[in-house]
Amino acid sequence: MNKLIKAGLVVASTFIGAQAMAASMDCEIGEAQYNREYGGYTCYTVEFGSQTASTTYKIVSDKAVSNVVWDGAAASCGVSSSTSCTVQTSANTVHAATAIILFQDGSWEKAWATSLFNNI
């Protein structure tokens, strides 16, 4: 009986772990040659003399996405079927974007990413 319970717990934890890893958010900021990513969910750049930079937040998912509810730094994208959102972000400020990802199978999850650029 104990073996059966342990096996059930292993299967359940694997399923829960897989659910938690269904989607994430990456970001890219500024010009590609200067963009630096740290673990995908944090991006950084330095641009000379610029007050704003174009930042693209992207949902990366192994499940089919129905809609994305963008919030935080990406709130201007609203609710969209697109899995990417491009916004202008200001210099010398950390910008945190969040999104609720609604999957076609009826499940959902939340993802986030931060971006920062310094101007010199």
Domains, the chain, in order of start with CATH, read 23-119 (2.60.40.10)
Alpha helices for 42-115 (secondary structure H): none
AA letter at 68:
V
pLDDT, residue 69, reads 98
pLDDT, residue 7, reads 37
Residue with tokens 């740290």: 38
Q: Mean pLDDT by 10-residue block, N- to C-terminus, for the chain (120 residues)? A: 39 42 86 70 84 92 96 96 95 95 97 90
84-90 β-sheet, strand order = 23-29, 52-61, 84-90
pLDDT, residue 115, reads 93
Say whether pTM exceeds 0.85: no
What secondary structure letter does DSSP report for 109?
E
Rg (C-alpha) for the chain, rounded Å, is 18
- Measured CA to CA, the distance from residue 110 to residue 69 in angstroms comes to 9
pLDDT, residue 80, reads 94
